[in-house]
């Protein structure tokens, strides 16, 4: 069990992970900042009652839930903004090797071009390395929807990459 005084330790150890995940899912840096802030407000509120042993999985779940909630809210309020986020990472984050490769910037750009629904599925499967079932549970959608979003995402990213090479 995590005690009340460990919020600072959780924040210090996992802040970059949460922010990088938010940036990969969000459409703008401002959206990622909003997700990041809301995640840690929730962590601060619910950490005293947290009884699990997988803090990173718990943080991932909160981050995805906050992102999905904000996405639904923004769809009700206004059209989705233009894509403007860029991937950021530190050496210990899942996307680090991707960004170090020559393809990294082009892949990041292709990922940014995806709709938020497809992008979040691609990030959870490709970057976070969750199974199809875990992605379905995390997003509360059928596994078939996960498969179709990933298939569409791969096709769209491939088209983007082929266009960048030509």
CATH architecture, domain defined by 97-166 = Orthogonal Bundle (1.10)
DSSP 1-21: ---GGGHHHHHHHHHHHHHHH
Q: Which residues of the chain have pLDDT under 70?
A: 1-5, 75-103, 164-166
Q: How far is CA 84 from the centre of its chain?
A: 15
Look at the alpha carbons of 38, 19, 109, 133 in this order and tell me if their dihedral is positive or negative.
Answer: negative
Look at the alpha carbons of 152, 36, 21, 50 in this order and tell me if their dihedral is positive or negative.
Answer: negative
Domain covering 1-85 in this structure, CATH number: 1.10.1740.10
Instruction: Using DSSP, state whether 91 is helix, strand or coil.
Output: coil
Q: Which are the contacts of 142, defined by CB distance < 8 A and separation ≥ 6?
A: 136
Look at the alpha carbons of 109, 127, 54, 71 in this order and tell me if their dihedral is positive or negative.
Answer: positive
What's the pTM?
0.69
Domain with CATH 1.10.10.10 in the chain: 97-166
Domain with CATH 1.10.1740.10 in the chain: 1-85
The torsion of the CA quartet 22, 27, 29, 32, rounded to 10 degrees, works out to -30
The structure tokens listed for 36 are: 């990041």
């Amino acid at each position: 069990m995590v005690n009340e005084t460990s919020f600072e330790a959780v924040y210090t150890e996992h802040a970059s992970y949460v922010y990088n995940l938010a940036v990969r899912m969000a459409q703008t840096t401002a959206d990622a900042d909003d997700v990041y802030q809301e995640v840690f407000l929730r962590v601060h509120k619910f950490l005293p009652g947290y009884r699990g042993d997988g803090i990173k999985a718990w943080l991932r779940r909160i981050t995805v839930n906050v992102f999905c909630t904000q996405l639904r809210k923004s769809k009700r309020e206004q059209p989705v903004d233009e894509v403007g986020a860029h991937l950021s990472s530190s050496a210990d984050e899942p996307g680090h090797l991707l960004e170090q490769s020559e393809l990294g910037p082009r892949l990041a750009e292709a990922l940014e071009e995806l709709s938020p629904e497809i992008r979040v599925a691609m990030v959870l499967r490709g970057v976070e390395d969750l199974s199809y079932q875990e992605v379905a549970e995390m997003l509360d959608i059928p596994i078939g929807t996960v498969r179709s979003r990933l298939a569409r995402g791969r096709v769209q990213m491939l088209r983007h990459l082929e266009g960048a090479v030509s």
